Amino acid sequence: MSIPADLKYTRSHEWVRAEADGTVTIGITEHAQELLGDLVFIELPAIGRVLAAAQEAAVVESVKAAADVYAPLAGTVVETNQAVVDAPETVNQDAYAGWLFRMRPATAGDLDALLDATAYQEIVDAAA
Amino acid sequence: MQKTVLNESHRRSGARMVDFGGWEMPLHYGSQIEEHHAVRRDAGMFDVSHMCAVDLEGPEARPFLRRLLANNVDKLKAPGKALYSTMLNDSGGVIDDLIVYHLDETHFRLVVNAGTAPKDLAWMAARLDEWRLAASLTPRRTGSGALAMIAVQGPQARQRVWQVLPEQRLACEALPPFVACATGDYFVARTGYTGEDGYEITLPAERAAALWEALANAGVRPCGLGARDTLRLEAGMNLYGQDMDETVSPLDAGLTWTVDLLSPRDFVGKASLLARGQQQQFVGLLLLERGVLRAHQPVTTVQGPGEITSGTFSPTLQQSIALARLPLATALGDTVQVGVRGKSLDARVVKPCFVRNGRILV
């Protein structure tokens, strides 16, 4: 199970990467894609949408189930990844390359409150 | 949780195992969609040993089935012929759907669903007792004499089976659809639940792992319950517990063709069916927008409300499809609205058979 050390995580199985320009990139974890199985439909938020932390932001659906993707922190959507909308299976192939959307956080320090790789690993292990 | 005799085989192949009606079964072995395509384009196999074969033996086996089943067992005239039927309660609801095979005049074999087998057996035993008919019921799922079942499906399925069981080829090559034959230790039926050609092979449990491995070596892809569900949905085949249950009449579940209301024969539930008639129609839905249809989503039509009973993303059509119960006045070709996660999406009403023998029909 791949859980890169340079990313932050949420209990709801999103990964979050801090970018140099102050934005954050968000996707679903390897563990999440494995639980869902083959993805067939992804719906992303509109660019410019303002989201509260833990608000529903996107939907990923596999053949068997639908799952909400939550905003890991408060902020504004600045970019979405059309490539995963056109080919949802790319998230199954590499969950960390198949990002979903980027946000500009409302407050710079919010990222620090998210889980690190060790803490997320414990959550995954506890669920196994 | 109960396990089939192929449990270890599945684990060795990297299956993700899930609880299905109290049985630990493979959901997929990596990619459900690839498994689906294997069955449509080549050959795949399913462990269906969680389903329960029940042998019904005795001089009054046929009279018993005449009263028990909604379909007419007298359509089974020659040994080997199979019949799909529902078994109803007194109010005309579906206790289970099943296949009955005619082995000989005093021996029929019923194959019932995994999770429903205990209540089915209890119901059948009670009816046998009530009607005082001379026949015995023997479930063949566990214990000594246990049987395993492997469904091999797809355009290349029969060829691959002959390759692996060359001694059985002569006996099963000439089988027409929906006919079975006993050959050696094997009971081979040209039946399935995918809309493709193929066989369902019943055999002594202790020989199942060897056959599974031989089929895999011959290029038959192991497929899990995930692919089984998308394949049966594309084929427009009902799933018990989802598309019908004890509260649903077979006439409202697209199963009118399996209910014999013409012959003077009486059967359990017949009076209720005749009194209530058909109240809804069972149709297919093709989603015209992006999204995925799921069970229990509400459908809005100009004739009134309806409900999706099964929905998924169809790997063959590359769009979402569903089975639904709608008002009787709704017509094929109508556009209806489905409530999908807070939005109203357009879907077209079609015949509930989307794909058959690899070909798209809608």
Closest CA to B197 of B82, B41, B327: B41
Q: What does residue B206 show for φ and ψ, rounded to 5 degrees? A: -70, -10
- Report d(CA B72, CA B92) in Å as an integer: 16
B46 and B160 assigned to the same domain: yes
Per-residue model confidence (pLDDT) at position A109: 82
**In this prediction, what percent of chain B has a pLDDT beyond 70?**
100
Per-residue model confidence (pLDDT) at position B13: 94
Per-residue model confidence (pLDDT) at position B36: 98
Q: Which two tokens stand for residue A88?
A: 């949802």
**In this prediction, what percent of chain A has a pLDDT beyond 90?**
91
Q: How many CA atoms lie within 13 A of B288 on its CB side?
A: 13
Residue B192 placed within a domain: yes
Residue A128 placed within a domain: no
- Report d(CA B109, CA B105) in Å as an integer: 11
Per-residue model confidence (pLDDT) at position B21: 87
Cβ contacts (< 8 Å) between A59 and chain B: which residues? 341
Residues β-bridged to residue B112: B52
Angle CA(A93)–CA(B33)–CA(B30) in degrees, nearest 5? 55
Average pLDDT, stretch B308-323? 97
Residues β-bridged to residue B57: B107, B136
pTM over 0.90: yes
Is the separation of the CB atoms in B298 and B305 below 8 Å? yes
Residue B362 placed within a domain: no
B16 and B35 assigned to the same domain: yes
Residue B147 placed within a domain: yes
Can you tell me which residue has the tokens 């050609």? B197
B37 lies in which domain range?
2-50+143-233
Per-residue model confidence (pLDDT) at position B260: 97
Domain termination site, one of B190, B214, B233: B233
- Report d(CA A28, CA A24) in Å as an integer: 13
Q: What is the CATH number of the domain that holds A20?
A: 2.40.50.100
Axis-axis angle for helices B225-234, B32-41 (nearest 10)? 50
Is the separation of the CB atoms in B188 and B199 below 8 Å? yes
Cβ contacts (< 8 Å) between A61 and chain B: which residues? 291-292, 313
B46 and B69 assigned to the same domain: no
B27 and B169 assigned to the same domain: yes
Q: Write down the number of H helices and E strands in chain A.
A: 4, 9
A84 lies in which domain range?
11-123
Residue A93 placed within a domain: yes
Number of domains in chain B: 2
pLDDT at B116 over 90: yes
As a whole number, the mean pLDDT across chain A is 95
- Report d(CA A112, CA A16) in Å as an integer: 11
Number of domains in chain A: 1
Average pLDDT, stretch B149-162? 98
Contacts of B172 (CB under 8 A, 6+ apart): B158, B161, B162, B165, B181, B183, B188, B190, B199
Residue B166 placed within a domain: yes
Closest CA to B153 of B181, B190, B187: B190
B202 and B94 assigned to the same domain: no
Domain termination site, one of B139, B157, B178: B139
B213 and B66 assigned to the same domain: no
Buried b (16+ CB within 10 A) or exposed e, B81-107: ebbbbbbbeeebbbbbbbbbbbbeeee
Residue B93 placed within a domain: yes
Contacts of B21 (CB under 8 A, 6+ apart): B50, B113, B114, B115, B116
Is the separation of the CB atoms in B147 and B205 below 8 Å? yes
Window 113-132 of B: residues touching A by CB (8 A cutoff) are none
B220 and B196 assigned to the same domain: yes
Across the interface, do A41 and B291 touch by the CB < 8 Å criterion? yes
Residue A102 placed within a domain: yes
pLDDT at A128 over 80: no
Q: What is the CATH number of the domain that holds B190?
A: 3.30.1360.120
Is the separation of the CB atoms in A27 and A58 below 8 Å? no
Residue B223 placed within a domain: yes
Closest CA to B52 of B112, B98, B108: B112
pLDDT at B318 over 80: yes
Average pLDDT, stretch B315-332? 97
Q: Which of A59, A63, A66 comes nearest B32 by C-beta? A: A63
| End-to-end Cα, chain B, rounded Å | 40
Plot region of B296 (φ>0 → left; ψ -120 to 50 → alpha; else → beta)? left
Residue B205 placed within a domain: yes
Residue A3 placed within a domain: no
Average pLDDT, stretch A25-51? 96
Q: What is the CATH number of the domain that holds B75?
A: 3.30.70.1400
Give the residue from chain B lying closest to A66, CA to CA.
B292
Q: Which two tokens stand for residue B53?
A: 């074969």
Average pLDDT, stretch B305-321? 97
Residues β-bridged to residue A41: A61
pLDDT tens per residue across span B329-357: 999 999 999 999 999 999 999 999 999 99
pLDDT tens per residue across span B262-304: 999 999 999 999 999 999 999 999 999 999 999 999 999 999 9
pLDDT tens per residue across span B244-266: 999 999 999 999 999 999 999 99
Is residue B26 within 8 angstroms of chain A, CB to CB?
no
Confidence tier at B176 by pLDDT (50, 70, 90):
very high
pLDDT tens per residue across span B185-239: 999 999 999 999 999 999 999 999 999 999 999 999 999 999 999 999 999 999 9
Residue A4 placed within a domain: no
- Report d(CA A13, CA A91) in Å as an integer: 13
Q: DSSP per residue over B78-97, as a string? A: STTBEEEEEEE-TTS-EEEE
Cβ contacts (< 8 Å) between A41 and chain B: which residues? 290-292, 313, 320
Is the separation of the CB atoms in B218 and B256 below 8 Å? no
Domain termination site, one of B172, B204, B233: B233
Confidence tier at A64 by pLDDT (50, 70, 90):
confident
As a whole number, the mean pLDDT across chain B is 97
B35 and B63 assigned to the same domain: no
Q: What does residue B258 show for φ and ψ, rounded to 5 degrees? A: -100, 0
**In this prediction, what percent of chain B has a pLDDT beyond 90?**
98
Residue B301 placed within a domain: no
Contacts of B123 (CB under 8 A, 6+ apart): B87, B89, B95
B35 and B181 assigned to the same domain: yes
Across the interface, do B292 and A37 touch by the CB < 8 Å criterion? no
Residue A71 to chain B, least CA–CA distance (Å): 18
